[in-house]
Amino acid sequence: MQSKPHKTGYPSIILYANIVLKPLHMSREEKTSHFSTDYLGKTIPVQIQRQLRKECFYGCAVCGVPLLKYAHIVPYNRIQALLPENMIALCPQHYYKYDSGDLSESSLREAKKDPHHKLQPQDAFFVESQDLTINIGKCKFINTHRILAVDDFDLITVTRENGKYLLLDVNLFDRMNSLIATISENSWVAGNIAGWCIDYVPQKKHLNIRNVQRNITFEMIMENTELYIDVMMYYNSYPISVTRNEISLNGSEIGIELKNSVLKNYDICIAAYT
Ligand SMILES: [Zn+2]
């Protein structure tokens, strides 16, 4: 059964090919149930994560990379308390540098006082246009935040905070169906960063996350205030590929009817079922 999607309004269900688009009711709090933890495995409350993200303008306080973990400047075992004034948002690379003793407490205090994006605000991960336009496959979605869900599970969500800063929720599985990386509101929740490369080119808001060994990539880039997303990922051991030309699930192209469309205020861009 097939039907043409409306190009305006707020459609709640679309059928095309054997792919069913339907709403998924998941609150922000449910989405962030994978709380970020510090290096002792202690849960960092979402409210503290948000405060720390905001104070460093949504990027690593040292280098500006927008994927974050949260560290205690004075080690937790010395103060036994989760104090935001003693904590700082760092990218995974600088987080582990500090954890291994390669970054001093004083350098982190300096970074907390003057985080990278405070000194270089144009480097932050943001899109300032009124509408948020995201291109996947050959389809343009405007103000649609849930980008890709499979079997009612959100794999990619992109929202904005404070009107412009980009926030990513991304779940990455390997081909054995193990969840190996979770990004929740830009917090890197995955237990092990080993094997992952994260690159950020601030001029193009180009974020590239890849695990070459496991053939998994997530890439986002801005061109003329619009975002383009390319991914190679898995769900339920099915490969999912999103390029500028097509979206495919297990080797078959999906969303063909949506190609070359501009769709506004949808509930979800692509919802597929395996
Ligand atoms: Zn960093």
Question: Tens digits of per-residue pLDDT, 153-164?
Answer: 999 999 999 999
What spacing in Å lies between the alpha carbon of 210 and ligand 1's midpoint?
17
What spacing in Å lies between the alpha carbon of 80 and ligand 1's midpoint?
25
What spacing in Å lies between the alpha carbon of 130 and ligand 1's midpoint?
29
Q: Quote the pLDDT of residue 36.
A: 64
| Spacing of C-alpha 245 from chain mean position | 22
What spacing in Å lies between the alpha carbon of 36 and ligand 1's midpoint?
17
What spacing in Å lies between the alpha carbon of 149 and ligand 1's midpoint?
30
Share of the chain above pLDDT 90, in %: 75
What spacing in Å lies between the alpha carbon of 156 and ligand 1's midpoint?
23
The yes-or-no verdict on residue 131 having pLDDT over 60 is yes
Distance in angstroms (rounded) separating the CA atoms of residues 171 and 169: 7
Q: Which of the 8 DSSP states describes residue 126?
A: B
Whole-model pTM? 0.85
CA atoms within 13 A on the CB side of 98: 27
How many CB atoms are located within 10 Å of the residue 80 CB? 7
Q: Quote the pLDDT of residue 40.
A: 54
What spacing in Å lies between the alpha carbon of 161 and ligand 1's midpoint?
21
User: Mean of the pLDDT values across residues 176-189?
Assistant: 93
Q: Quote the pLDDT of residue 76.
A: 87
Biggest CA-to-CA distance, the chain: 63
| Spacing of C-alpha 224 from chain mean position | 20
- Three-state DSSP at 243 gives coil
Q: pLDDT tens digits for 203-216?
A: 999 999 999 898 99
What spacing in Å lies between the alpha carbon of 10 and ligand 1's midpoint?
39
What spacing in Å lies between the alpha carbon of 263 and ligand 1's midpoint?
36
Please tell me which residue, 33 or 144, carries the higher pLDDT value: 144
Q: Are 148 and 242 in contact (CB under 8 A)?
A: yes
* Nearest Cα residue to 31 out of 157, 217, 173: 157
Residue carrying the six token digits 């079997």: 151
Q: For the chain, which residues make up each domain, given as ranges?
A: 14-29+126-272, 34-123
Q: pLDDT tens digits for 23-58?
A: 333 333 333 334 566 655 568 899 999 999 999 999
Q: Which long-range contacts (CB under 8 A, 24 or more apart) does 210-217 make?
A: 211/172, 211/174, 211/180, 211/181, 214/174, 214/175, 214/180, 215/175, 216/172, 216/174, 216/180, 216/181
What spacing in Å lies between the alpha carbon of 97 and ligand 1's midpoint?
9
What spacing in Å lies between the alpha carbon of 68 and ligand 1's midpoint?
8
How many CB atoms are located within 10 Å of the residue 176 CB? 9
The yes-or-no verdict on residue 117 having pLDDT over 70 is yes
Q: Which of the 8 DSSP states describes residue 43?
A: B
Distance in angstroms (rounded) separating the CA atoms of residues 54 and 68: 12
Distance in angstroms (rounded) separating the CA atoms of residues 182 and 58: 17
Q: Are 183 and 67 in contact (CB under 8 A)?
A: yes
